[in-house]
A and B are shown apart, each in its own frame.
Chain A
Amino acid sequence: MLRLVAERRPEALGALHDRHAPQLLALARRILSGAGEAEDTVQDAFLHVWNHAARYDPSRSSVSTWLVLLTRSRAIDRLRHRQVVDRVHESARRDMPAEAHASPEGTESVFIRERRERVRRELDNLPPEQRQVLEMAFYQGLTQSEIAARADLPLGTVKTRTLLAMKKLRSALRTEIRQLL
């Protein structure tokens, strides 16, 4: 699909959007807690894909992971920008509940649903302190040092928890990872 996008075929980008946008939008909303900015973020990510599809390296990641990391990076950039220019309203925005949304269940495959359940279960199985550092790094874009400062923990402890969480997830999600390879 990305090869067709690299060949500048809009219909291929459209198909990619149909397939991945719901998950990417969920990710952007989780990071930004706002629908409008989340949609813009996903659109930015797909425009980046349109302009740089040739740079995708299949030996480094699956397409879905590439899109996730692209979207996450853009969402975190927006989040940081927002925090810089509008610190006063930061807490209010963070507390703002996400808008009601419709889950595209009609188009969601059983495969994706099962994967979601599995990933959710394995994240729930992580000890809370390990899950916390992982989420702070992934969804809040914090560095290990920032997590240590914010959670009032030694940096070594943060790293150890991150390592343990990642190893557990790798082991528990072996089947899902193999499906992406």
Chain B
Amino acid sequence: MSQEPNPEDPTILAAIASLEQGADPIAPSGPRGDETAETLARLYTEVLGLIPSELEPVAPSPGARERLLAALGTAPGVRAGDSRPVPVASPSPVPAPIASAPEPAPPAPRLAPGPLPRRRSRWPLALAAALALAFAGTSAWLWQIRQQQSAEIAALRQELAAQRQIATKAGLDGQQARTEMERMRSQFALVTSPAVEVRPLRPAGGLQPNARGMLFVAPDHQHWYLSLEGLQPAPEGEIYKLWWVLEQGAPIDAGSLVAQNGVKIQMASDQMPAGIADVVVTLEPTPSSPTPLGPAVLKAGP
């Protein structure tokens, strides 16, 4: 049951230990920003998350969803804190009749004309006044509604224009994000490929004792991805360069590296020369040196 120590083991044990501590997915066992450790931690977290997939799903009891939503303290389907305008009962466009029409007065006896002619002339006046008032009220209400509608339309137009601007910007951002995601996905696929060749780069010559790195080479020996950390900025006038050291022939310039304090350096390419024996990062006095002239600061070794 004995087994060689594996760099993955602390990550796996950390994942298991995180089960004992709580629900949050594990933190990588390496320092923050260590991509390899973060990737491994993620992979083993997902392994744990997949374990209960073996179980036959169980339908929740009827009403479980409603009980959950009710427990939120909001009515289902209503956004919490949402202050949607409550529809106000609109006034009837036609005013309600003020009073029921009076029974028609019985025809006055011709022989007894008294107060009846006066009463007959008062009702039409009252009715006309009521109608006039109703008409005026309706007109005022319609005018008010129209004003509100105009204001609403203007506000919606403004909102639409703003949304269009946001959508345009989001489209551009989305395109950038897709490109970036594609790049990351390809690097991720390379790094997590089971057949990937991993070459750790270690400090050489004592110039940069805190620097370290990792070179991932795809099985096709063409695609590669390099990650470096802890490299101090190069002194004024000098530059770091990456070299492929071949089994036969002169080293090949693989590119320059610009180091900044606390910033991880990443390089990737889909081209790599054949017959590489070693990988070296040197501190060069000039960017255009065709062969390594300066001291090595990082070295992969065989």
Task: List chain A positions with a Cβ less than 8 A from chain B.
Answer: 8-11, 13-14, 17-18, 21-23, 25-27, 29-30, 35, 38-39, 42-43, 46-47, 50, 57, 59-62, 64-66, 68-70, 72-74, 101-104, 108, 112, 115-116, 119-120, 123, 134, 137-138, 141, 143-144, 157, 159-164, 166-167, 169-171, 173-174, 176-177, 180-181
Contacts and interface: CB of A to CB of B under 8 A. Distances in A.
Given A21-B64, A69-B19, 5 more contacts: A10-B76, A17-B60, A42-B60, A65-B25, A144-B13
A69 B53 contact: no
Interface string B268-282: 000000000000000
Given A30-B52, A170-B47, A25 B57 contact: yes
Contacts, number: 198
Contacts of B17: 144
A66 B18 CA distance: 13
Chain B's interface size range is: 35 or more
A60 to B, nearest CB: 4
A167 B12 contact: yes
A18 B65 contact: yes
A46 B68 CA distance: 8
Contacts of B38: 59
Contacts of A14: 65, 68-69, 76
A73 B69 contact: no
Nearest to A173: B50
Nearest to B19: A137
Contacts of B194: 171, 174
Nearest to B76: A10
A17 B65 contact: yes
Contacts of B2: 160
Nearest to B81: A8
Contact of B52 (A21, A23, A39, A70): A23
Interface in B35-64: 38, 41-61, 64
Contacts of B78: 10
Contacts of B125: none
Contacts of B72: 10, 13, 47, 50
B60 A119 contact: no
Contacts of A177: 43, 46-47, 50
Contacts of B53: 23, 112, 115-116, 119, 176
